Amino acid sequence: MIGASIRRTEDRRLLTGRGKYAADFRLPGMLHAAVLRSPHAHARLGTIYPEAARGLGGVVAVITARDLAGVGRIPVRLGPRPSLIACLQLPLATDKVRYVGEPVAVVIAESRYLAEDALELIRADYEPLAPVVDCRRAVEPGAPVLHEAISGNIVDRLSTHTGDAMRALAAAPVRVRERFAVQRHTGVPLETRGLVAAYDGGTRVLTIWGVAKVPHFNRRVLADLLGHPEHLIRFVELEVGGGFGVRGEFYPEDFVIPWAAMRLGRPIQWVEDRREHLMATNHSRQQFHEIEIGVSRDGAILALADRFLADLGAYIRTHGVIVPELTAALLPGPYRIPNYSCEVLCVLTNKTPTGTYRGPGRYECTFVRERLVDLVAKALGVDPVEVRRRNFIEPDEMPYEVGGASLGQRTVYDCGDYRSAFETALAAVDYKAVRAEQAAGRRDGRYLGVGVGCVVEKAGLGPWEYARVEVDGSGHVVLYSGAAAVGQGLETTLAQICAQELGVPPEAITVIHGDSALVPFGVGAFASRGASVAGPAALEASRKIKAKILRVAASLLEAHSEDLVLEDGAVSVRGVPDRAVTFRELARAAVPGPPGMDPGLVATHFFEAPKMTYPYGTHAAVVEVDAETGQVWLRKYVIAYDVGKAINPMIVDGQLVGALAQGIGGALLEELVYDEQGQLLTTTFMDYLLPTAMEMPEATVVKILEETPTPLNPLGVKGAGEGGSSGVGAAIANAVADALAPFEASVTALPLSPDRVLALIRAGRER
Amino acid sequence: MKPPPFEYFTPASVEDALALLGEHREQAKVLAGGQSLVPLLNFRLARPRYLVDLNGIPHLDYIREEDGWLAIGAMTRQRAVERSALVRDRCPLLAEAMPQIGHVQIRNRGTIGGSLAHADPAAELPAIVAALGGRLVVRGPDGERVMAPERFFVGYLTTALEPFELLVGVRLPVRRSRTGHAFVEVSRRHGDFALVGVAAALTLDAAGACADAALALTGVGPTPVVAAAATRVLVGQRPSAEAFQEVGRRVSETLEPDSDLHASSEYRKHLAGVLTRRALTRAAERARGGEG
Amino acid sequence: MKERTIRLTVNGRPYERTVEVRKTLADFLREDLDLTGTHLGCEHGVCGACTVVVNGEAVRSCLLFAVQLEGANILTVEGLADGDNLHPIQEAFWEHHGLQCGFCTPGFLLTLYCFLKETPRPSEAEIREAISGNLCRCTGYHNIVIAARAAAEKLASAGPTP
C-alpha cells in the first residue's frame, strides 16, 4: 500500500458536492456576520457610531472594540519573541488603524445581505496620519511610526554568521554584488476563510466549525483570550478549500465571532468575501535584498553576505518573524559556503500583516541565491550549470551543518544527493538540445531561454504528532490523527500507512482529524509535515494496535501470536484458515481482554520529530520571450524532487504541480499592489492575477525521486508540500534573463510582467 | 459582497422598458447579460434603485443580414455571435474577437448590447464597431436614432445614451471583397481585458495596393481610439513591413494612454505600435489570401 | 417589488420559492434549496467555482439573480451523478487526481459537462481554453486536463448521453 498511487478516499464526497465547507454549514437560528474594515492605511480612530446600523431591521448586534475591552492580543504561534509583543494585533482596532482592511466593527444580522446593508450605516471618525508603505522608507529617520510602543518601525533584527564572510569576500578574486526584490503576494486559496460558532449556555460548550491547520493550538488561544476553559471549547474542521500557509492561523475574526456567539446565545456564521480576503488574510514574501558573493576563479563559492529588509506589514501575526528567519537559514541552499553572513531587518509598514505562504522564505531566498549564481557564471564566462556542479554539497558530507538556525533548530541537512537531482532535471529538460535550439532561434529573432533553480526545502517540523488507532465494535479500523486536512489528501495518505500494517484496504479505514472532541491532541498541517510527522505517528500507532490484535487473537484462538496471520480484517492460525476470528469479534473480546493488556483495541502514539527534514531538488524552465511585447511563454518546465519516500506518488505529483502553478503566479502574475496612500489596489480577481490553465507550461515533467530516504523517521519520508513552489521564481527569472542575454537585461525583481520585461530590455539596450 | 437592495422590473417590450426608464431615469439601471453590472452590484459600486431587466423582451435577439449590413440584436448572447456561421462569413473581424472576450461562461450570458452600452475602453466590441464604422441603433421615447460609434462612445464607461434610451441593436458593414481583418491583443492572462488590443481592416485594390484601411485600438484611451490619420497614408501603397511599421509608429506617437497597475502608459504606447503592425500584417495576408 | 415567486427545475426537480429580488442564483441554490455544492470563490464572475448549467449552458451563478431563472432548467453538481453512479467526468477526475481541496471542482465539472457535449473530441489546447474561466489553486490544472481528455474518451465510447 505504501508507494501505491491509489485514488483518494476523500474524493467521492467532493465530486458529488457533498463536502461541507465552512460556508456550507448551517444551524437553526444561525446569524450572519460582516466586518467593517478600515478604509485608511494609517489613522487615529475616534468615535464609532453604530446606532443607525443597530436600528436596521434584522440587525442583532454591532460590536466594536469598546465591547471587547480587556481582551488581549493574538499571540505568536511559531517563534514567539519578547520583542514582538508590543506589535501584536488586537481583535478589533482601538485607538488607531494601521492598514486598509483592519477590522473596526462587526455586524451580526439575520442574513449576510442585511449585515452588509448595516455596514454602510456605520460611521466612524478617523484622523488620517501619514502612512508608510515602502519598508525601505520605513527604516529611514523621520518616517511615520506605526507603533509608538517601539521606537521606529524595525520590530526585530536577525543575524546569522558562519566563518568570516567579510574577510573572505575581501580576499575573493571574483565578487558579484546585486540587489533583488521579491514582491508581496500570497496563498489565496479558492475557498475564503469562514467559521461558524455556537454556544450552549446550558453545558457552557462553545463549538467552532470551519477551523483549519492548527485547531488544537487555536483552541488554546481562544480559551486564553475568552477566559473560557479549554475543555469546554470544541473545534471542528470541515472540508478545507486550500491552506497554503495563510488559512487556519488565528485571525481577529476567530475571536470576535465566537465571542459574539457566546454573548448573543445564537449561532453565528462568518464567511469572508474575496475582497476582504485579499486585504485581511495574511500577505507574504515581500523582501529587499542586497547581497554579495565571492568566488574563486574556478567558481568555488568562498563567501556570501546578504542584508535584507522583510516587509511584515502593520502588525506581528502568528508567524512572528519566521519568514525572514527561514530566508536567512536556507539562503545557502545546496552549496558548500564556508563563510556566510546574513543581516535582517524586520520592518513594519501600513499594509496587511504577513505570515507564511507555501515555501516561506525559500521561494524568496532561492530566487535571490539562484539569480546570483547565474550572475557568477556570467562574470566567469561559463554556463550557469557549471557553477552549480562546482559547489554542490556531496552526499558523503551529510548530515551537513550549514550554520545558522530557524524554528529553534540548527540548520543541519539530514541527507541528500543534490547533484543527482540536478542532473536528472537537466536530462529531463534536455539541456543541451535547448541550448542548440536557443542558438538557432536567436538567428531568427526568437528569444528562448533556459534557467535552473536548485532548492533545498525544509519539512517535517515537529515537535510531535499524535495518532490513535481503534478497531470499533463493528470491526472497522478508525485512525485518529492530530494533523489537519487542507485539501492535500491527508486521509488517503494516512490510510495507506495504516492499511499496510493492518492488512485492510485503505478505503476501509476511516481517518478522523480536526475535531478536538475526538482527537485530544494535535499539532496540525504546516511545514510539509503530514506524511513526515503524522505519517510515522500513524505507523507506530498501527504497529501498536497490530500487536494488541494479535495478542487478543492469540488468546481467543489459543495459539502463539507468531503463528497468526492478519489479513482482510481477520486473524487466522497459519495453515488453518478455519481457525479465525474477525476484527469485529476481536474488538468485542478486547474489553477487558487478556490479563495484563490495556483493555480495548485502541492504541495511541506520539511521534516526536526533534529535527526537520530537508527535501531538495532542481527546477528547470524553458521560456520564450516576445522581445516586442515583453510576454513570457513557458515552453517546458521540469521539477526533479527528492521526497525521501512517496507514500502515494500520484498525490506527491499533484502537490508538486500544484505548487508549481503557485510559483508561476509569483514569477509572472501575482502582486499585491499598494498606492502611496497605502490603498490596496488589487482587491479583485481581475487585478490579483491567479494563473489559469492557459498560463501553465506547454509541457510539464515531474520526476519524483526517492534516492535518499531520511533517517529521521521510520518511513523515510521527507515531505512534499512546498518544493514544487520554492524554485519557480528562480528558474523562470534565470530563464528570462538567459533569453534576454543578447539585450544584457538585468533580472532582479519579480513578477516578470510584460511591462517589466520590456523595461528590462530597454534598460539593457541603453546600457 | 452581496448586492444592495433594488426594485426589479421585467418589461415585456421595448416600449415598456422605455416607459420604466423614462419614469426612473438616473435611478434605474438596465440589466442585459449582467456580466459587468452584477459584479459592480456585488461590490456595491453601483447602487441603482431600480433594475430594468431586458431578458424578457422578445425580438432583441437576432443575427441577420439587412441591406448590406450585419444586424445584431442588443440582447444577442456573445456566445451566439461566436457560433454564428453568418458572422464568420460576413464579419470575420467580429468572429475573430469573440473568443477573446472573457470566458465561455461569460459569453454564454453576456450580450452584444450590454458590452457596447457598458463602453469599457478595454473591451473588444466597442473597438470593432469603431474600426468597421458600424452603427448603433438606439430607441427612445420619440423613436429610433442611429449613431456612429464616434458619437456613441463619449468617455470612460460613458455613452451618448440618455437615461431614457435603450441600445436595441448594432449594424456592421459586411465584408467587402479583397478585405482582410485582424484582431490582436495582449492581455496579462487569457480572457482578461487586453492591455492593448487592435482591430484592423484592410482592403486591397485589384492591383494589390491598399484601397482602404481602418484601425481601432482598445486600452489606450477613454474610448476606442480610431487611428484614421495614421492609416490614411497606407492608401495607394502596396502593403509592406515598412509601411505597417510606419503606421504603428504614427499610431503610437499620437496616444497618451493612462497607466494602471497592469501596465504603464509608456508600455501601452509602445505595445499599440507593435500590435498595429502585427494586425495590419495579418489583415493584409488575409486580404491577399481571400480568407477575410 | 422586493420579492418574487419563481418556479424552476433544478436537477430534474421542480421548485417554487419566493425570493428577495436581489438574491443571486448562487445564494438561492445554496440557502433556499440547500444545494451547497455550488461554491462561491469570488462573487464577481472570475473564479468559476459557482458555475452551474442553465438551460444547457454553463454560467456564473454569482452573476445572475434567482428571479431571472423563472422557468429555467438548472443542473448543479448535486445532479451530475446518477444515484451512486458517478458521471464519467466525475469518475475521470477521481481516477486522474483532478482535484485536491475540491472547492473549485463543481465548477470545473459543470464547465466540462457543457464543453464535452459541444466538443466531444477536444484537443489539449481546446480543453485548456475551455477551463480557462475556472480557477484552481491546488492542482496546477495538469490533472484536470488529463481527466477532461479521459472523460471525453469515456463519453465517446459510451455513446450519446441524455
CB-CB under 8 Å, B186 with A694: no
What stretch of H or E contains B79? helix B78-83
| DSSP β-ladder status, A205-211 and A233-237 | parallel
**Phi, psi for A421 (deg, rounded to 5):** -60, -40
Enumerate the residues of chain B whose CB falls inside 8 A of the CB of residue C2.
5, 7
**Phi, psi for A176 (deg, rounded to 5):** -130, 135
* List of residues 6+ apart from A123 with CB closer than 8 A: A48, A49, A52
**Residue A765: what pLDDT?**
85
Query: Is the CB of residue B217 less than 8 Å from the CB of residue B125?
Result: no
Strand pairing partners for A703?
A640
- Compare CB distances from C105 to A15, A685, A693 and report the shortest one's residue: A15
- Ranges of H-type helices in A392-445: 418-429, 431-443
pLDDT-based confidence at B289, cuts 50/70/90? confident
**Residue C161: what pLDDT?**
52
For chain A, residues with pLDDT lower than 70 are none
- Which CATH number, 1.10.3720.10, 3.50.30.40, 3.30.365.10, 3.40.50.2300, labels domain A464-608? 3.30.365.10
* List of residues 6+ apart from A23 with CB closer than 8 A: A191, A194, A269, A271, C30, C36, C39, C40
CATH node for A366-459+613-766: 3.30.365.10
CA distance B267 to B250: 15
**Which residue from A176, A750, A761, A754 is spatially nearest to A453, judged by alpha carbons?**
A750
CB-CB under 8 Å, C64 with B109: yes
**Residue C162: what pLDDT?**
46
Enumerate the residues of chain C whose CB falls inside 8 A of the CB of residue A12.
86, 94
- Closest chain C C-alpha to B187 CA, distance in angstroms: 14
Q: Which A residues 647-666 touch C at CB under 8 Å?
A: 650-651, 653-654, 657-662
CA torsion sign, A205 to A208 to A209 to A213? negative
Query: Is the CB of residue A568 less than 8 Å from the CB of residue A750?
Result: no
**Residue A258: what pLDDT?**
98
Which cell is A620 given?
528547470
CA distance B260 to A681: 10
CB-CB under 8 Å, C36 with A24: yes
CA distance C33 to C31: 6
Q: Residue A370: CA atoms inside 13 Å, Cβ hemisphere, count?
A: 34
Query: Is the CB of residue A513 less than 8 Å from the CB of residue A491?
Result: yes
| DSSP β-ladder status, C73-75 and C3-10 | parallel
CB-CB under 8 Å, A631 with B261: no
CA distance A146 to A538: 46
- Ranges of H-type helices in chain C: 25-27, 88-95, 105-118, 124-130, 142-158
Say which residue the cell 474610448 belongs to.
B223
In tens, the pLDDT along A7-34 reads: 999 999 999 999 999 999 999 999 999 9
CA torsion sign, C84 to C90 to C94 to C100? negative
ipTM of the predicted structure?
A: 0.98
Chain C residue with the nearest C-alpha to that of A697: C142
DSSP A239: B
pTM of the model: 0.98
- Average pLDDT value for chain C: 96
**Residue B76: what pLDDT?**
98
Give chain C's domains with CATH numbers.
3-79 (3.10.20.30), 88-158 (1.10.150.120)
CATH node for A11-129+192-239+247-280: 3.90.1170.50
CA angle in degrees (0–180, nearest 5) for B95-B96-B99: 90
Enumerate the residues of chain C whose CB falls inside 8 A of the CB of residue A240.
101
**Residue A408: what pLDDT?**
87
Amino acid at the residue A357: Y
- Closest chain C C-alpha to B233 CA, distance in angstroms: 38
A241 Cβ under 8 Å from any chain C Cβ:
yes
C-alpha distance from residue A587 to each of A78, A478, A509, A554, A582 (Å)? 40, 12, 15, 13, 9
C140: pLDDT strictly greater than 50: yes
Query: Is the CB of residue A150 less than 8 Å from the CB of residue A321?
Result: no
Chain A residue with the nearest C-alpha to that of B102: A686
**Residue A767: what pLDDT?**
81
- Closest chain A C-alpha to B2 CA, distance in angstroms: 6
- Compare CB distances from A16 to C49, C81, C127 and report the shortest one's residue: C81
CB-CB under 8 Å, B186 with A691: no
CA distance A471 to A561: 18
Chain A residue with the nearest C-alpha to that of B186: A629
Which cell is B184 given?
490582436
**Best of C101, C128, C136, C139 to disrupt the A interface by mutation (most A CBs within 10 Å)?**
C101
B130: pLDDT strictly greater than 90: yes
Give chain B's domains with CATH numbers.
7-56 (3.30.43.10), 63-173 (3.30.465.10), 179-289 (3.30.390.50)
CA distance from start to end of chain B: 44
Q: Where in chain A is the domain with CATH 3.30.365.10?
A: 366-459+613-766, 464-608
CA distance A640 to A658: 14
Which cell is A327 given?
530566508
**Residue C160: what pLDDT?**
59
Query: Is the CB of residue C114 less than 8 Å from the CB of residue A255?
Result: no
Chain B residue with the nearest C-alpha to that of A752: B188
**Which residue from A431, A445, A437 is spatially nearest to A734, judged by alpha carbons?**
A431
